[in-house]
């Protein structure tokens, strides 16, 4: 399973981009999705440097493809108006953090991430996310949108 309730953090305590990534990575480490937190965080930040993954509409999708990832995962974190150098200049409220192993053979999870990316462009999906207040509700939204 790409995402489960353990991988949903509502709310995230940290208030900065780097802090949010660290905090979410800590959770990923604790449930065994990554083997090396520092290496994973470095990969994600390196990706952020190329250009911000805050794609507008208050959503960011930081992602890292590195050997530190033991099992592909998707995390959801609810944050409060974090500055993410977004393309539209707006702060971020939703963070979907993605981890993929460097040598990933199958493509099923990539298909799901591709689908998630497409869903994010839909107003309806974003408002459903905003209305969800706990992990179970987020899971329900993802299920409803065929992402689980």
Chain positions contacting another protein, by CB under 8 A: 47, 50-51, 53, 55-56, 61, 63, 65, 87-88, 98, 100, 104-108, 110-111, 113-118, 120-122
**Options 58, 63, 94, 109, the catalytic residue:** 63
Q: Is 94 a catalytic residue?
A: no
Q: Which of 54, 47, 46 is nearest to 87 (CA)?
A: 54
Q: Which is nearer to another protein, 37 or 47 (CB)?
A: 47
Count the neighbouring beta carbons within 10 Å of the beta carbon of residue 104: 13
Q: Which of 68, 63, 90 is nearest to 79 (CA)?
A: 90
The least CB distance from residue 50 to another protein, in Å, is 7
- Strand bridging mode 54-56 / 92-100: unpaired
Which stretches within the chain are classed as H helix?
A: 17-30, 37-50, 108-120, 123-131, 135-144
The least CB distance from residue 103 to another protein, in Å, is 12
Catalytically active residues, by annotation = 63
């Amino acid at each position: 399973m790409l995402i489960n309730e353990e991988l949903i953090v509502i709310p995230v305590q940290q208030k900065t981009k780097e802090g949010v990534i660290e905090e979410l990575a800590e959770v990923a480490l604790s449930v065994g999705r990554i083997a090396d937190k520092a290496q994973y965080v470095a990969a994600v930040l390196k990706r952020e440097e190329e250009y911000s993954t805050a794609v507008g509409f208050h959503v960011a999708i930081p992602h890292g493809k590195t050997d530190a990832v033991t099992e592909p995962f998707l995390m959801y974190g609810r944050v409060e108006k974090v500055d993410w150098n977004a393309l539209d200049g707006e702060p971020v409220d939703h963070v979907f953090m993605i981890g993929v192993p460097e040598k990933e053979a199958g493509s099923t999870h990539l298909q799901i991430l591709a689908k998630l990316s497409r869903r994010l462009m839909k107003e309806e999906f974003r408002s459903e996310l905003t209305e969800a207040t706990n992990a179970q509700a987020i899971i329900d939204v993802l299920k409803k949108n065929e992402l689980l």
